[in-house]
Amino acid sequence: MLMRMLHIAKAGFEAARSLSAIPHGHSFSVTAKADLPLADLRARLGAICAGLDYCDLNTRFSCPDDLTLIRHLASDLAVPAALSLRSAPGRGVELDAEGQARAWLKTGFEAAHWLPHVPEGHQCGRLHGHGFGVRLLADAGLADYAALEKAWQPLHALLQHGTLNRIAGLENPTSEVLACWLFDALSARLPAMAAVEVFETATAGSRFDDQGLRIWKEQRFEAAVPFDDQGRYTGHSYLVRLHLAGDIDPEQGWVRDFGEVKALFTPLYARLDHHALDQLPGIGATDCAGIARYLATHFALPQLVRIDLLENDTDGALLWLDGGRACTR
Ligand SMILES: Nc1nc2c(c(=O)[nH]1)N=C([C@H](O)[C@H](O)COP(=O)(O)OP(=O)(O)OP(=O)(O)O)CN2
């Protein structure tokens, strides 16, 4: 099986800047995905962010906007990487390894729905609701946060506190249908739209972009791993995120049921949760990359394209199973 592994790590810095008249401060946070060992990536990213910590960004850059900052961070990292910079709650920019930048806005709405085509007895066939999270991404050269916000407002007004099934085009409001529908509706207002992500629950969602549809389902497990060569152990609350890509099944309106993905993963989950991972038969390394590889060799689904294995909320390994397609997103 072709695989491509990247590590992901996060760091931050506190800094002041003035983009208009009023100087103000930010808690910036930066995520990097790169083909570096996790400890190296953490150390490099931490050092680069430390260089900007408690600094007046206007003394360092003539225009310290988010795009300038993320390009500076990418150049200082000095290895091909995909970066995401969050400059304020709910907004930031991403830069992929090819240098393409996207502005993003994280927003959401609260609404009711049911899924009319699920099998008899399925929990999602009942009227229920969610606080849906939505992340909108647009070409940063053509659109900024204000343009994203302006395009989003009429849709928010339509969706907020509504029953999605009553809206034309959302008669079967799965995450996947919603992501595609939002992408179409937003693109009509903002041609620079690049992607829409829908966070239906805290553990599941979908993304639509120029590569098509991808869904994810997450689970956490608690496990011990060797810490040093003295025989000591440590432990982590791991997060495993399974990504599936494919077309919408015309009958159900989804790529694959989140619940089914979780159920299929359950036997492997049972081997991980509340265990010492070095005792798993056949496991090699017990760092995040080693655990991700173990999962890939013990869990097969035709639509599975990526496995994220994080040892905390931010740091870990991302394993692509299709030889690197979509390797930076
Ligand atoms: N591919 C899809 N599968 C499912 C969708 C969907 O939109 N696309 N929607 C649902 C339900 O609406 C449900 O509310 C969310 O599903 P699920 O992740 O199974 O929800 P749980 O809260 O039970 O998940 P936990 O694992 O307990 O977090 C179903 N499937």
pLDDT at residue 1, as a whole number: 63
Residue 205 clears pLDDT 60, i.e. is over it:
yes
Full set of structural domains in the chain with CATH? 1-96 (3.30.479.10), 100-210 (3.30.479.10), 217-329 (3.30.479.10)
Query: Is residue 55 among the annotated active site residues?
Result: no
**Is any atom of ligand 1 closer than 6 Å to the C-beta of 252?**
no
Distance from C-alpha of 326 to C-alpha of 329, rounded to nearest angstrom: 6
Indicate the length of the chain as a whole number. 329
pTM recorded for the entire structure:
0.95
Say yes or no: CB of residue 204 within 6 Å of ligand 1: yes
Backbone angles phi, psi at 118, to 5 degrees: -80, 160
Per-residue pLDDT reduced to its tens digit, 166-177:
999 999 999 999
Does ligand 1 have an atom closer than 6 angstroms to the CB of 254?
Answer: yes
Q: How far is CA 85 from CA 4, 11, 69, 124, in A?
A: 24, 10, 8, 35
- Residue 213 is predicted with a pLDDT of 97
The atom number, within ligand 1, closest to the CA of 200 reads 15
Measured from the Cα of 175, ligand 1's closest atom is 7
Mean pLDDT of 301-306: 94
Taking the C-alpha atoms of residue 74 and residue 32, their distance in angstroms, rounded to an integer, is: 9
Residue 48 Cα to ligand 1 midpoint, Å, equals: 39
Which one of the listed residues 94, 197, 200, 218 is annotated catalytic? 200
Q: Render pLDDT for 102-153 as a digit per residue (tens, 0 to 9).
A: 999 999 999 999 999 999 999 999 999 999 999 999 999 999 999 999 999 9
Mutate to test the pocket of ligand 1, among 118, 124, 261 (most ligand atoms within 8 A of CB): 124
Q: Mean of the per-residue pLDDT values for the chain?
A: 95
pLDDT at 189 over 70: yes
The CA distance from 87 to 114, in Å, is: 36
Taking phi over 0 as left and psi of -120 to 50 as alpha, with beta for the rest, 252 belongs to alpha
Band of pLDDT at residue 3, cut at 50, 70 and 90: confident
242 CB under 6 A from ligand 1? no
From the list 24, 156, 161, 274, the catalytic residue is: 161
Answer whether 138 contacts ligand 1 (Cβ < 6 A).
no
Q: 175 CB under 6 A from ligand 1?
A: yes
* Residue 327 predicted with pLDDT over 90: no
Question: Ligand 1 centre and the CA of 240: distance in Å?
Answer: 16
